[in-house]
Amino acid sequence: MEKKTKILIVDDDPLILESLKDTLEIEGFEPFLSSKVYEGIEIIKKEKIDLVITDIKMPEVSGIEFLRMIREISLDIPVIIITGFASLDTAIEAIREGAYDYIIKPFEVEKLIAIIKRALNEKILAEKNKSLIGELQETAKELNKRLQQLFHLDKVSRVICSEFELEEFLGNLLNTTTQALNAKIGSLMLFDDKEEYLHVKAIKGLDEDFIKTVKLKKGEGIPGLVAEKGRIISSKDIEEEGIRLNKIDQGLFRFPNFISVPIYGKNRVWGVLNLSGWDKDFNFSEIDLKLLNILVSQAWIALENSRLNGELQNSYLHTLRILANAIEAKCKYTRGHSERVTRYAVKFAKEIRLSEREIRKIQFACEVHDIGKINISDAILNKTTPLDKREWEIIKEHPTKGVEILIPLGILKELIPLVKHHHERFDGKGYPENKKGNEIPLETRIITLLDAYDAMTSDRPYRERMSKEEALKEIEKNLGTHFDPDLGERFIKLHHLFEIKE
């Protein structure tokens, strides 16, 4: 037998109670009646009521106070207010306090039933969203277990690279290799995701502008031949096999003596390590070749770990993005906020010429910077009047709560300071740790600036959006207090590059 929806009617008019009781029973609901507020509260506690209908004027306490009492029991019970014209202002106040809707006496029963059904449908959707968020949190825990297993497996190599760490590791590996083998020139090339082209990922002693133009297929140039054949090719082989160097080879090696080594693992070539810059009569010893093979194997281990960790990182970020979207969906005023902040911050970071690594950190941190709001109630997020002290303290906890979500996901550790401190102020009066000035990471100061810009140019429950010009004036007014003055001035100068909010 299907469980009926329980609806409580609280009104001191017995005629309304009986009339609504009959109507609700016809519609298939299970009505509960009370002419007293405190009796109604007891029914809510005992019967697990799904929805409440109440008159705004009750003899014991006001409808507003009754609403607050219901909210102390549960934030999830929709409350519909019945009011007369004389108490319309009070009904509107009730909406601000969290009532679902109101209906004015005398009313059409069909209209009330429509409001009830709409409220119940939205409640069901909210419960499904809450269930989905719970499932996503469980998924994140499972992903974390998988990550910990990978970390244990990789202890032997001690080369564990996230996407953020790989670029730095490859540069360090190339420097170590060139120093160990006394090479003046070096480059490390990797295949793209489709394994079509080799791209230079780290260099030593080469021109960066030239490197940007290098893109080789298998079989093209010396590195392409090495990738195709899966074996070492040196300057000695060129002479013996009659292979000719093309212009890219000449730019990569620049010296007559060179060696090009495949980065090989799991039955495929991942990339190529190129070294040159020795005297003409230099010869590799057996020890040199063994050392080179060890260093190249370290490169492969790092690449494989980065790939596995990259998959986990993408899974984590995908899960966190879904959580972030679910949080923003709880409040129509913040829908799309993280996406816009990401777009603004990445654009700004590129304009001030931050590194690709710094830009990626900013991008990922922006996408999840408000993830800590997951446990904040809809009533607080959508409140149209100023927050009280308790509610404000709850809001201020969200950066720390976000960190608590990220900490178990070890691969995302570089995002933690960015998420934790995005509400710090340049003058040290922010939260949660009152950091100031350069104590706050550069990437975080950028996120703080663009987060505030989007908030100012977006509607909120308690105010309308500012114009773009008003927001820029507000930023200018708060340079050195709320915002980094250098970043703020540069943003104001570059503001014309940012698209106007739709």
* Phi, psi of 24, deg, nearest 5: -65, -35
Q: What pLDDT sits at residue 163?
A: 47
Dihedral angle computed from the Cα positions of residues 4, 10, 14 and 20, in that order, rounded to the nearest 10 degrees? -40
Q: How far apart are CA 408 and CA 94, in angstroms?
A: 41
Give the distance between the most distant pair of CA atoms in the chain: 109
The DSSP result for 308-376, as a single string, is HHHHHHHHHHHHHHHHHHHHHHT-TTTTTHHHHHHHHHHHHHHHTT--HHHHHHHHHHHHHTTGGGGGS
Classify residue 361 as exposed, middle or buried by CB count within 10 Å of its CB (0-12, 13-18, 19+). buried
Residue 201 corresponds to which tokens in the numbers above?
């990922």
Pick the CATH number of 163-301 from 3.90.1530.30, 3.30.479.30, 3.30.450.40, 1.10.3430.10: 3.30.450.40
pLDDT tens-digit series, residues 104-124: 888 888 999 999 999 898 888
**Among 143-152, 233-242, 267-276, which is the least confidently predicted range?**
143-152
Binning pLDDT at 50, 70 and 90, where does residue 50 land?
very high
CB atoms within 10 A of CB 83: 22
In this predicted structure, the answer to whether residue 55 has a pLDDT above a threshold of 80 is yes
Homologous superfamily in CATH for domain 330-497: Hypothetical protein af1432 (1.10.3210.10)
At 190, phi and psi to the nearest 5?
A: -130, 150
Angstrom distance (rounded) from CA 44 to CA 76: 12
Please compute the mean of the pLDDT values over residues 337-344 and round it to a whole number: 88
Distance CA 311, CA 304 (A): 11
Which class for 382: exposed (0-12), middle (13-18), buried (19 or more C-beta within 10 A)?
middle
- What integer pLDDT is reported at residue 153 of this predicted model? 34
Q: What is the pLDDT of residues 195-205, one digit of tens each?
A: 788 988 888 88
Which whole number is the average pLDDT over 245-269? 82
Share of the chain above pLDDT 90, in %: 25
Tell whether the torsion through CA atoms of 16, 21, 24 and 30 is positive or negative. positive
**Element spanning 190, H or E:** strand 185-191
- What does each C-alpha distance from 128 to 121, 132, 317, 326, 369 come to in angstroms? 11, 6, 22, 11, 24
Q: Once rounded to an integer, what is the mean pLDDT over residues 476-491? A: 95
Q: Which CATH superfamily is domain 6-127 in?
A: Response regulator (3.40.50.2300)
pLDDT for 413 equals 76
- DSSP structural state of residue 464: P
Of 393-397, 412-416, 484-488, least confident by mean pLDDT is 412-416
> In which residue ranges of the chain is CATH 3.30.450.40 found?
163-301
Cβ neighbourhood burial of 296 (10 Å; 0-12, 13-18, 19+): buried
- Neighbouring residues of 451: CB distance < 8 A, sequence distance ≥ 6: 341, 366, 369, 422
User: Which residue ranges does the chain devote to CATH 3.40.50.2300?
Assistant: 6-127
Q: Model-level pTM?
A: 0.50
Token pair listed for 341:
């902040």
**pLDDT of 333 above 90:** no
pLDDT of residue 152: 36
Mean pLDDT along residues 228-240: 82
- Residue span(s) of the chain under CATH 1.10.3210.10 come to 330-497
pLDDT (0 to 100) of residue 61: 85
Q: How far apart are CA 8 and CA 78, in angstroms?
A: 11
